Amino acid sequence: MTTLADTPPTGERERRPVILAVDDEPAVLAAVARDLRRGFGERFRIMRTSSGAEALEVLGQIRARGEQVALLVADQRMPGMEGTEYLARARQLVPDAKRVLLTAYADTEAAIAAINEVALDYYLMKPWDPPEEQFFPVLEDLLTTWESGAALEAGGVRVIGHRFSKESHDLRDFLARNRVPARWLDVERDGEARELLRIAAVPADRLPVALLEDGSVLERPSVLELAERLGVVGVPASDHYDLVIVGGGPAGLAAAVYGASEGLKTALVEREAPGGQAGQSSRIENYLGFPAGLSGSDLARRAADQARRLGAELLTMRDAARLRVEGSGRIVELTGGAELSANCVLIASGVSYNQLRAPGFAELTGAGIYYGAALTEARSCADQHVVIIGGANSAGQAAVYFASYASQVTMLVRGESLTSSMSHYLIEQLAALPNVDVRTGTQAIRAEGEDDHLARLTMRGPDGSESTERVDACFVFIGAAPRTDWLEGTVTRDERGFIVAGLDVKGNGWPLARDPYLLETSVPGVFVAGDVRARSIKRVASAVGEGSMSVSLAHEYLAEG
43 and 139 inside one domain: yes
pLDDT digits (tens, 9 = 90+) for 140-168: 999 988 887 776 666 678 999 988 888 99
Q: Which positions ≥6 away from 306 have C-beta within 8 Å?
A: 257
Last residue of a domain, one of 230, 262, 286: 230
485 and 336 inside one domain: yes
Residue 246 domain flag: yes
Does residue 368 contact residue 473 with C-beta atoms inside 8 Å? yes
Amino acid making up residue 19 = I
473 and 534 inside one domain: no
- The pLDDT confidence band at residue 14, using thresholds 50, 70 and 90, is low
pLDDT digits (tens, 9 = 90+) for 409-456: 999 999 999 998 899 989 999 999 999 999 999 999 999 999 889 999
25 and 74 inside one domain: yes
The rounded distance, in Å, linking the Cα atoms of 259 and 312 is: 8
133 and 184 inside one domain: no
CA distances for 477 relative to 18, 167, 469, 546, angstroms:
38, 21, 20, 24
Q: Tell me: pLDDT of 45 over 60.
A: yes
pLDDT digits (tens, 9 = 90+) for 249-259: 999 999 999 99
What is the CATH number for 450?
3.50.50.60
13 and 142 inside one domain: yes
What is the DSSP track for 506-546? TTTT--SSSPPPTTB-SSTTEEE-GGGBTT---SHHHHHHH
336 and 407 inside one domain: no
Residue 41 domain flag: yes
pLDDT digits (tens, 9 = 90+) for 493-521: 999 999 999 999 987 779 999 999 999 99
Residue 223 CB neighbours (<10 A): 17
Mean pLDDT of the chain: 89
Give the CA dihedral 404, 70, 84, 299, nearest 10 degrees. Answer: 60
Does residue 98 contact residue 145 with C-beta atoms inside 8 Å? yes
The rounded distance, in Å, linking the Cα atoms of 458 and 112 is: 41
What is the CATH number for 212?
3.40.30.10
Partnered with residue 370 across adjacent β-strands are 475
Identify the CA nearest to 285 among candidates 123, 427, 145.
427
pLDDT score for 151: 67
Partnered with residue 446 across adjacent β-strands are 458
pLDDT score for 288: 85
Residue 235 domain flag: no
Task: Give the range of the structural domain holding residue 82, as residue numbers without chain letter.
Answer: 2-152
Last residue of a domain, one of 199, 230, 261: 230
The rounded distance, in Å, linking the Cα atoms of 419 and 402 is: 21
Measured in whole angstroms, how far is the alpha carbon of residue 84 from the centre of its chain? Answer: 26
pLDDT score for 7: 46
What is the CATH number for 34?
3.40.50.2300
Last residue of a domain, one of 436, 457, 478: 478
137 and 20 inside one domain: yes
Q: Residue 30: helix, strand or coil by DSSP?
A: helix
81 and 148 inside one domain: yes
Q: Tell me: pLDDT of 385 over 90.
A: yes
548 and 429 inside one domain: no
The rounded distance, in Å, linking the Cα atoms of 501 and 521 is: 4
pLDDT score for 165: 87
The DSSP bridge pattern shows strands 466-470 and 98-103 to be unpaired
CA distances for 390 relative to 355, 399, 400, 514, 539, angstroms:
12, 10, 13, 43, 16
pLDDT score for 2: 44
129 and 25 inside one domain: yes
DSSP 500: P
Give the CA dihedral 375, 377, 383, 387, nearest 10 degrees. Answer: -70
pTM for the whole structure: 0.81
- The pLDDT confidence band at residue 5, using thresholds 50, 70 and 90, is very low
How many domains is the chain partitioned into structurally?
A: 4
